[in-house]
Every structure is written in C-alpha cells, then in structure tokens.
C-alpha cells in the first residue's frame, strides 16, 4: 500500500490478472476460488526469485491464504520471474511482464534474489539489478524494517541477555535515492591512465521530506521517539537531510526527535539497542544499520520488511538473501517471509485482523519449541522449512492469541 496507508490504512480491491509460467511466456491464471458475496478480494503478485526464495514463498502463500480465508479475505495470486530465474528464462533480471504484473496488483511478495551462478555476469545482467529496477518501477521509497527480540529467542542473540531483552525498534530507510541511484556514477580512466570508480550521494528536499513524514507517522504509532541518522559533520547531503528533518519536527509535537551520526549509531545499536524506537536514515546507512539490527534479534531469517510508495502496491520481502548454499535442502527459515506476508496484510491491504492471526501463529510455533537451524538451541526441536511452515499454518486458525 502507499505510504499514506500509515494514516488511512485503506486499500481498494482490484481485478484478477494473468500470470506467466516458467515453462513459457504463455499466460495462465493462478487464483483462489471465486469470491463469495461480501468477501474482499485482492490481487497479489508473487516473486519467488532465486535460492531459497521459492521455498519460503510457497509457505508464505499458504499461510496468507489461510489467514485471509478466516477473516473474509480472498486472493488471486500471480507468480512471476525476477532475478536469476528471470535471467535464465528470458535473459533479463526484470522482464517487462513482471513489472507490469507488479504494478497492476494490490501488493507484491518477494522471496530472494541472487546466487553464485550469476556472480560473473555484467553489471546490468546481475539478479540484483532486477530488484533495484523493481523498487524504482514501483516507486517504493519508504522501507520499514522492524527488529524485535522475541522472548522465545532472546538467547539466540549474540548480545548479552540484559542487552538484547526487550529490544523493539523500526528502521525507516529511504529506498530509491542516495548513492545507490545518484548520478554521475561509473568507472573511468583518468588522465594518468588509472581506473577511478565513483558514485554520487544526492538527495532533493522533497525526497527527504517524504521519508521523514513516514518516519514521524511511524514513530507516532509506536513509542513516540524518532532518531534521524546522518553524517552531517562530513557530508553535504546529510547537512540538508538534518535541516529538512528538523524543520518537519514542529508538525509532530508528540514525537521526540533526536539526531545521531551514523558511526555512533552503529556503536549504539550493539551497546544499548533499547534506546531506539524508530530510526530514519538514507539508503546506504539504512541498508547497513538494518542488517546490523537484524543480528540483535538472533537471526536475519526472522526479519520482514515493507517498502511503500505514495500510491500503488507495496513490496514486501524478508531481508535475508537467497542463501544458495542451502537452497532446496529444506533448511531455510520461512518465518521472515511469513512475517512479511503479515506486513503485506497490515500495511499493504489494511487487513490488520488477518495480519494479527499470522503474527500470533508465528509466536505459537515458537512457543511450542519449533526452531529452524539458524535459531536452534538446546532444548528446542529442530525442524526444516516445510515443517516450520506446517506448524505456523496449524496455528493460524487458532482463536486464542499466542502469548508474547
């Protein structure tokens, strides 16, 4: 859903569309049963991608479908190729059919992108290029990455219990600007015959303002504290960033705004992460800090994300990579993708009851002691990707919320 959903949380249903199979570019339909009168119906584009992506997307789809059915919501699913899978299929990382399907949908759920197989491809033919193009095509500028240490997993954190226990923060990352997209960029040969690589960190005032508003709104609905992270003591782009964020603070008197340099923020995240509620920062800093925050929780395999635009469908995905070394071995942790499906329901469709069912189901599976290898500890039950998905699915239709 649009970033405006943080205020309205409303998303209209749209029509079903056609999808592509991997075997050919001929269209086919992948859908739920016909909607009953009075039920809401949404159009979801699934992008399994590479590595463990297809495994975790398959599970998340089943959980999403079950949670929706119990809350009067039905889905039409359209599966499309992206990343390495698309390169193998049609020779480009983001086929036109895929971006068109994504734009026509109510929300997009992505698995993972990349793998060793394509590491030596030219820059424009790497799987990751497809993800950048997808984000740009959907104009999803606001990336929300929660990092919460669940009571059941506090001992899985690499930090001491007293440091990790109770951590609950949200990183709001600007996603379509900054050094990842700025121009000029490239590799050239200078007058001395030496190769020189360069990128440009650039932000316009409106880009800063819109991500700051999303962050203020997010903080307002959490604990009312917002920390803006920059490098204003060195970077001109960060000086403007701090100026614009500070100027907007007067519109949110109920939110306590602070500023922190990125190097200090990186230290504080491991020294005292509980001091943070909501963090807002630029593209590259957010990329790094959100990954750091993920390890506080014990595993990157637990964390979902939502990417929102001013209008149009949101993009929801786990923050972990494609993990090609364990792909197809039933070892992946599907919980981050399942929780991304919950964020899809909550932020993308405004279906908070269905989202809560999924969140409670994840907690219920953990309360029962089920763990994939990345979060396993003595005294718990080691399960594979499929079994963990099955356990969550069993708990989805439970009418009693799981304890936190």
Q: Residues 265-282: pLDDT tens digits?
A: 999 999 999 999 999 999
pLDDT of residue 38: 64
At 327 the three-state DSSP class reads: coil
Residue with tokens 């149009």: 312
Residue 28 scores a pLDDT above 70: no
* Catalytic site includes residue 117: no
Q: Which residue out of 88, 139, 180, 368 is catalytically annotated?
A: 180
When mean pLDDT is compared across 15-19, 99-103, 187-191, the lowest value belongs to: 15-19
CA distances from 302 to 100, 323, 374 (A): 30, 14, 9
**What integer pLDDT is reported at residue 37 of this predicted model?**
55
The arithmetic mean of pLDDT across residues 177-198, rounded, is 96
pLDDT for res 401:
44
| Structure confidence at residue 198 (pLDDT) | 97
As a whole number of angstroms, the distance between CA 147 and CA 168 comes to: 6
H or E element in which residue 90 lies:
helix 84-90
Give me the chain's average pLDDT, please.
Answer: 89
Please pick, among 263, 272, 310, 325, the residue that the annotation labels catalytic: 263
Share of the chain above pLDDT 70, in %: 89
Spot the catalytic one: 61, 129, 231, 346. 231
More confident residue, 276 or 152: 276
pLDDT score at 228: 98
Whether 347 is catalytic is no
Contacts of 250 (CB under 8 A, 6+ apart): none
Q: Is the pLDDT of residue 74 over 80?
A: yes
Annotated catalytic residue within 50, 106, 287, 374: 287
Q: CB burial class (10 A; 0-12, 13-18, 19+) of residue 162? A: exposed
Residue 42 annotated as catalytic? no
Unique residue bearing structure tokens 């399994």? 48
% of the chain beyond a pLDDT of 90: 80
pLDDT at 118 over 90: yes
The single residue of 291, 331, 356, 368 carrying the catalytic annotation is 291
How sure is the predictor about 299, in pLDDT bands with cuts at 50, 70 and 90? confident
Q: What is the DSSP string of 240-282?
A: HHHHHHHHHGGG-TTSEEEEEEHHHHHHHHHH-GGG-SEEEE-
Q: Give the residue with greater pLDDT, 210 vs 9.
A: 210
> Is 39 or 187 the better-scoring residue by pLDDT?
187
Least confident of 3-17, 115-129, 329-343: 3-17
Average pLDDT (178-188) is 95
Say whether 274 is catalytic: no
What's the pLDDT at 398?
Answer: 74
Question: Is pLDDT at 29 greater than 50 in this prediction?
Answer: no
Q: Is 203 a catalytic residue?
A: no
Measure CA 336 to chain center: 9
Mean pLDDT computed over 82-111: 98
Tell me what pLDDT residue 127 has: 97
Span 55-79, mean pLDDT?
Answer: 97
Least confident of 29-43, 50-64, 265-279: 29-43
List the alpha helices (DSSP H) in 43-194: 53-70, 84-90, 96-104, 127-138, 161-164
- CA dihedral (72, 306, 332, 94) positive or negative: positive
């Amino acid at each position: 859903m649009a970033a405006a959903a943080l205020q309205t949380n409303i998303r209209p249903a749209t029509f079903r569309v056609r999808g592509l199979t991997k075997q050919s570019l001929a269209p086919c339909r992948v859908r739920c049963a016909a909607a009953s009168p009075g039920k809401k119906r949404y159009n979801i584009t699934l992008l399994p991608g590479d590595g463990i992506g297809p495994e975790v997307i398959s599970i998340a789809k089943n959980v999403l479908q079950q949670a929706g059915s119990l809350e009067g919501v039905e889905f039409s699913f359209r599966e499309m190729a992206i990343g390495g899978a698309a390169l193998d299929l049609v020779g480009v990382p983001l086929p036109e059919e895929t971006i068109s399907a994504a734009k026509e949908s109510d929300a997009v759920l992505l698995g993972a992108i990349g793998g060793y197989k394509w590491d030596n491809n030219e820059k424009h033919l790497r799987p990751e290029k497809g993800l950048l193009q997808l984000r740009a095509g959907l104009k999803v500028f606001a990336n929300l990455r929660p990092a919460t240490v669940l009571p059941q997993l506090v001992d899985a954190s690499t930090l001491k219990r007293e440091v990790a226990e109770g951590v609950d923060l949200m990183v709001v990352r600007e996603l379509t600007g900054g050094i990842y997209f700025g121009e000029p960029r490239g590799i050239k040969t200078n007058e001395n015959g030496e190769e020189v690589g360069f990128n440009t960190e650039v932000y316009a005032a409106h880009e800063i303002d819109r991500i700051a508003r999303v962050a203020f709104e997010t903080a307002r609905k959490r604990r009312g504290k917002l920390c803006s992270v920059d490098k204003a003591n060195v970077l001109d782009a960060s000086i403007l960033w701090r100026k614009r964020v500070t100027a907007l603070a007067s519109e949110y008197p109920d939110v306590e705004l602070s500023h922190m340099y990125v190097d200090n923020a990186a230290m504080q995240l491991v020294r005292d992460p509980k001091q943070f509620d909501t963090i807002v920062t630029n593209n590259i800093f957010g990329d790094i800090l959100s990954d750091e925050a993920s390890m506080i929780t014990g595993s990157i395999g637990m964390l979902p994300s939502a990417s929102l635009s001013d209008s149009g469908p949101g993009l929801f995905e786990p923050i972990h990579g494609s993990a090609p070394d364990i792909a197809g071995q039933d070892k992946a942790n599907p919980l981050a993708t399942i929780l991304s499906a919950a964020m899809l329901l909550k932020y993308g469709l405004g279906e908070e009851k269905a989202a809560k069912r999924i969140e409670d189901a994840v907690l219920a599976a953990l309360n029962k002691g089920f763990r994939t290898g990345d979060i396993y500890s003595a005294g718990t039950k080691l399960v594979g990707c499929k079994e963990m998905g099955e356990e969550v699915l069993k708990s989805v239709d439970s009418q009693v919320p799981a304890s936190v």
